[in-house]
Amino acid sequence: MQHRRGRRPVGSVGGWTRRAALRHGGAWALAPALPAVRAADAPRLLRVMSFESPWRWTDGQLAGFRQGLDMPQAQWQVFQMDVKRHRSPAEKAARGRLAREAVEAFRPDLLYLSDDDAVAEVAVPYAGSRMPIVFSGVNRTMLEHGLEGAPNVTGVLEREHVAESLRLLRAVVPGARRLAMVSDPSAYWDAVIGRVRRQLTAVPTMALLRVERPHDYASFQRVLSELPSQVDAWIGLGVFALPRADGTAVPYPDLARWVVQHTRLPDISFWIDRVHHGTLLSVTVSEHEQGLAAGRLASAILRDGRSPASLPVRPTSHGRPAINLARARQLGIGVRSTQLLASEVVRQFAWDATL
């Protein structure tokens, strides 16, 4: 690993400014590869998360990353963008500036980003620099983020197990055929909605009749009250920090509790935290597998001297069925023992666990 004294700023590449390094003659400039890190060294890693902690999705990615990296001597700093609360473009840009200030202050040997907002606000400005960047939990492709061909960026894509979740729904609720999908209007759900539409073709007995993207809490409540007369089940994506009439945001746990207390329509999602907050079932995207795969990429860069560009960007393939048994009982749905044995079983709602 390079000695720190006299080290160039992370925003420079072989003496070029970062802006010049990003594009040269219409192509990415290839930054010099970093030397491999010796086992006795203590690499500095900065993790910038789009969301916040504590939250199983973000914390599980970091735990998996540490396992995949397997460098207990590493020095860590963490920056939380917390975009569920800082939702507007201006707020996200401000959080991105703070994250980049943390990068410049800490000057990490590797930058680990999770989820799309961190990539948009941090990876894009540092693309083409000498600093290796590894991401996980990302919905948009490298091309969509403007990072196609960036020599210092690699990572793990997040891909939902849509067909598998729908088949599990059909097994648990055989009459579920007409579906609706609900998310907040955040732009990062656009790609997810497109993938859900495409994967629905693998389950021809089901049809997506409505896609709703309410902008406020009252609209969300109205949509959920209308759905039982139109569909048999609904797909919940992210419905985070929708504003009340007074402008204050409704935290996701409070919104999820309202759903459980006021609706009787079966639902699915694609993440385990949703199941803990009352979603009936899911074949989940594993946050641990996302982080584990990213950590292994980081290990290849730091320990083996691999260039990020030589490490393919891929999604994880492992998903695990999960069923909220408390919600099933509330809805009067009987779940077979074989289905429970093959699934992660959530036996209470998240708010009950805190009482």
- What string of DSSP letters covers 155-197? EEE----HHHHHHHHHHHSTT--EEEEE--S-TTHHHHHHHHH
* Closest-CA residue to 316 (of 344, 291, 334, 335): 291
**Residue 222 and residue 185 share a domain:** yes
What pLDDT, on a 0 to 100 scale, did the predictor assign at position 7?
41
**Residue 305 and residue 275 share a domain:** no
CATH number at residue 190: 3.40.50.2300
Q: Within a domain: residue 303?
A: yes
The CA–CA distances, whole Å, from 174 to 53, 167, 351 equal 37, 10, 29
What pLDDT, on a 0 to 100 scale, did the predictor assign at position 159?
92
Q: Within a domain: residue 305?
A: yes
Ranges of the chain whose pLDDT falls below 50: 1-26, 31-40, 355
What pLDDT, on a 0 to 100 scale, did the predictor assign at position 213?
97
**Residue 198 and residue 141 share a domain:** no
What pLDDT, on a 0 to 100 scale, did the predictor assign at position 29?
55
Q: How far apart are CA 281 and CA 273, in angstroms?
A: 11
**Residue 129 and residue 262 share a domain:** no
What pLDDT, on a 0 to 100 scale, did the predictor assign at position 280?
98
Range of the domain at 133: 18-159+287-315
Q: How far apart are CA 343 and CA 207, in angstroms?
A: 25
Q: Within a domain: residue 47?
A: yes
**Residue 292 and residue 281 share a domain:** no
Counted domains in the chain: 2
**Residue 252 and residue 131 share a domain:** no
Q: Within a domain: residue 1?
A: no
**Residue 244 and residue 233 share a domain:** yes
**Residue 140 and residue 177 share a domain:** no
Look up residue 325 and give its two tokens: 């048994």
**Residue 329 and residue 311 share a domain:** no
**Residue 166 and residue 215 share a domain:** yes
Q: Within a domain: residue 199?
A: yes
Pairing of strands 249-250, 153-157: unpaired
**Residue 170 and residue 140 share a domain:** no
254-274, pLDDT tens digit by residue? 999 999 999 999 999 999 989
What pLDDT, on a 0 to 100 scale, did the predictor assign at position 88?
84
Q: Within a domain: residue 30?
A: yes
**Residue 223 and residue 128 share a domain:** no
Q: Within a domain: residue 7?
A: no
Amino acid at 308: P
Q: Within a domain: residue 8?
A: no
